[in-house]
Amino acid sequence: MTVTSVGNVLSARNVVKIFAREDGTPTLALADVSLEVSMGEVLVLVGASGCGKTTFLRLFAGLELPTAGEVQRFGRTVTGPAAEAALVFQSSVLLPWRTIRENVMLPAEIQRRKGSEWRDRATELLEMTGLAAFADAYPRELSGGMRQRASICRALLLDPPILFMDEPFGALDAITRATLNRELYATWRHTGKTIVFVTHDITEAVRLGSRVVVMTPRPGRIAHINEIVIDAESYDERIESQQYVDLLRELEHQVHVITSTTERDDGSPAAADADLVR
């Protein structure tokens, strides 16, 4: 095996993933995909439903294992989930019988890390995200955006170097999403985490990404890798820059080309995607 170069947090080499559909037919979800993620970057995977972007993320996270090829995390072959990476899902996945604080503290509990410092850490994170007043509330009492903030707090609790985010703001309204994009950008600047972010929202991709990978559907392949180099000091500067606007247009174009060439196999792509993921 080749040794991963320094700075590569994650790498996928010639990864193939085949799933069995519900009727047993094998389906090719990812075909020969290779990608490296370097330390501290926000790598965004964009593509239409069914393009295997979620599958790709789950392979990096160790929730799925590749049919062929290899996925490495910090130079070691991924064989399952690890504490050095945390996941944020599309729905907040807060356990409804736990208070927000108890939900945020779940990772420490599972890892059997005792001590009051985790409670303090949870409080600190909840304060940072403006949820301090809801620490003892139950998830049902919070809005969708607040729940997603809480689930990000949970992911940050053990301070893992890697965050995997699977369409974390996909179920939120556009205004809340914009706010959370801004907050996540600030968190990233502040903590320097390596983030792999799956979305189908191009704007979100350009707002957050250091690199944006555009994928094609059925089977999932990498179509374009866009380096995003915007020399901006702040988020506002970033989204007002000319590069931002240009990249948005470029991505729009890339996605349009892909969808117009892979069109007309419309076997309800959303359902197909759900099949593949599970």
Partner 1 sequence: MSEPPLKTLEVEAATSPAVEAADGTRQLEELKRLVAGRRWYYALWARIMLGAIPLVALTLLWLIVSAHPPHGALQYAAPRIQPTLTDLKNDIVGQSPIVRSAILLTLEETAIGLVIAITAGFLLGVPMGLVRLVDASLYPIIVVLQAVPFVAITPLLALVFGFGIGSKVALAAVLSFFPILLNVIVGMKRIRLDEIDLLRSLGASRAQTFLKLRLPRAFGSIFAGLQVGILFALLGAVIGEIVGGAGEGNGGLGVQLTIRTQGLDIPGAFSVLIIISVMAASLTLLVAAMSRLLTNWKEL
Element at 20 (helix H, strand E): strand 8-20
Q: Which of the residues 47 through 66 are near partner 1 (CB under 8 A)?
A: 61-63
Nearer to partner 1 by Cβ, of 87 and 206: the residue is 87
User: Closest approach of Cβ 208 to partner 1, in Å?
Assistant: 21
**Residue of 111, 191, 259, 268 interacting with partner 1 (CB under 8 A):** 111
With H, G, I as helix, E, B as strand and everything else as coil, classify residue 213. Answer: strand
Question: Helix 53-61 vs helix 269-277: angle between axes, to the nearest 10 degrees?
Answer: 10
Q: Is 145 in the site for partner 1 (CB under 8 A)?
A: no
Closest C-alpha among 56, 63, 19 to residue 37: 56
Q: Is 22 in the site for partner 1 (CB under 8 A)?
A: no
Nearer to partner 1 by Cβ, of 158 and 257: the residue is 158
**Residue of 110, 174, 186, 225 interacting with partner 1 (CB under 8 A):** 110
Q: Is 24 in the site for partner 1 (CB under 8 A)?
A: no
User: Closest approach of Cβ 198 to partner 1, in Å?
Assistant: 14
User: Closest approach of Cβ 138 to partner 1, in Å?
Assistant: 6
Nearer to partner 1 by Cβ, of 82 and 248: the residue is 82
**Residue of 47, 50, 52, 139 interacting with partner 1 (CB under 8 A):** 139
Ranges of beta strands (E only) in the chain are 8-20, 26-38, 42-46, 68-73, 76-77, 85-88, 162-166, 194-199, 211-216, 221-227
Bridge partners (DSSP) listed for residue 198: 45, 166
Q: Are the C-beta atoms of 152 and 75 separated by less than 8 Å?
A: no
Closest C-alpha among 169, 140, 155, 148 to residue 106: 155
Provide the binding-site residues for partner 1, judged by CB under 8 A. Answer: 61-63, 80-83, 85-87, 89, 91-97, 106-107, 109-111, 138-140, 147, 278
